[in-house]
Amino acid sequence: MNLDDVTAIVPAFNESEGIGPTVQELIDVGIQPYNIIVVDGGSTDGTPEIASKLGVRVVRQRGRGKADAIRCGLKHARTPLILVIDADHTYPAKYVPLMVNALKEGGYDEVIGVRPGSSQPLVYRVGNALLTWLFDSMFGVRLRDVLSGLYLVRREAIADANFEMGGFSVESEIAAHIVSTGGSVGEVDIEYRKRLGRKKLRPWHGLSIALDMVRLSWRYNPTSTLFLAGALLMVPGLLVGGMTAYQFYFMHVDHFVNAIMALVVTATGFNSLLLGILSMYLKRMEYRLLKHMRSMKRGQSSG
């Protein structure tokens, strides 16, 4: 595989400062202009005009949000590899060849460009670490930067993805779909620059992304999600039990009914936690089997 096999999708909305340098870097690194698709989300600052002058394809986005932009770009792509890169000039295109080599040599279905933590403000660094930990815990992987805006994927690996998560959750949705269907995800360390133009991601978007990750877990592993939700019963059970024990030992007040209720609720929550953990391990075993089957199929087709 070489860069002729790569189509770069660049979602853009009012990125007049960053779109030009971003697209030019993609061209300079070796991606053909006809394989660069700028998906414009209705910019009013001249973003599509700037991109058009560089000879790349500019398409008008249908819908709103980054997920719709990527889905729109995929309809116009014809190559086996898809690169997604933000239009704000934060991600250096010089790492694209390295990502292509990593995908080919590692047999991955996706390669993510991992940003150095020191390049981000503290609040974003902590938020990204927590969200990546949440994703890793739910899907049984060990990624370092699941929300990076630079990643390379095999088109066949996301051909049947739903792209239901809007906003800034599309990166986690793509990774979740790949690992949940037996695919594998690799990572490459990259640089991360200060963005050109106004930042759109805010700290409070982290909560929305976390909720979307829970929705993704429900979609791909509903049994585990249901049991882990049931484990939350341990919280009121322990609180009521602790209060009842305090009143019994220090105030000599008996609340046998409360004690029995607390015991039942806590035990139910604990059993749900154990079943949730068990279902997670069973799902991870399923992921490994699917991955092995896909690798065997890929080896047979290449042979």
Q: Give the mean pLDDT of the chain.
A: 85
Which has more pLDDT, 140 or 11?
11
Which has more pLDDT, 236 or 60?
60
Averaged pLDDT, 151-173: 86
Band the pLDDT of 28: cuts 50, 70, 90: very high
Band the pLDDT of 33: cuts 50, 70, 90: very high
**pLDDT tens string 185-197:** 999 999 999 888 7
Strand partners, 60: 40
Averaged pLDDT, 98-118: 91
Looking at residue 284, its pLDDT comes to: 65
**pLDDT tens string 237-263:** 888 888 888 787 878 777 878 888 888
**pLDDT tens string 261-283:** 888 888 888 887 777 777 766 66
